[in-house]
């Protein structure tokens, strides 16, 4: 009797899982239809540029772009460093008379 109850429960759970999977597949189909309609409406005519792996490409072009990127990053790092140095000098060379109200004793 207990085995029959177990088999019945497994069959019922299997049926529920099947129904849920079918509903998920229907929703997926509707979603792809909507995505196709949107892509037709907004025109995905712009294709992505073809992928050219750097291993198979011309070495000089890739080396030049790498050097340009490296120089650009060095310039950015240098300007950030200069800004940090300026900010630090402002903090170190602050005029103490500006903050004299902090040194006065309150009665």
Give Cα separations from 55 to 44, 58, 61 (angstroms).
30, 8, 12
State how far the Cα of 8 lies from the Cα of 40, in Å rounded to an integer: 48
Could you tell me the residue ranges of all domains in the chain? Answer: 1-41, 57-91
Q: From the centroid of its chain, how far is CA 101?
A: 49
Question: Which residue's entry shows tokens 């999977």?
Answer: 21
pTM of the model: 0.38
Q: Could you report the per-residue pLDDT of 82-102, keeping only the tens digit for each?
A: 999 998 888 887 677 777 777
Average pLDDT, the chain: 86
* Residue that has been written with the tokens 């025109």 in this structure: 43
Place of tokens 């950015």: 76
């Amino acid at each position: 009797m207990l085995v029959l109850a177990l088999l019945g429960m497994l069959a019922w759970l299997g049926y529920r899982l099947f129904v849920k999977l079918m509903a998920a597949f229907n929703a997926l189909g509707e979603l792809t239809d909507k995505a196709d309609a949107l892509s037709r409406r907004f025109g995905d005519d712009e294709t992505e540029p073809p992928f050219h792996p750097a291993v198979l490409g011309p070495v000089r072009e890739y080396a030049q772009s790498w050097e340009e990127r490296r120089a650009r990053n060095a310039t950015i790092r240098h300007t950030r460093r200069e800004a940090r140095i300026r900010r630090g000098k402002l903090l170190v060379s602050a005029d103490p008379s500006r903050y004299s109200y902090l040194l006065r004793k309150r009665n």
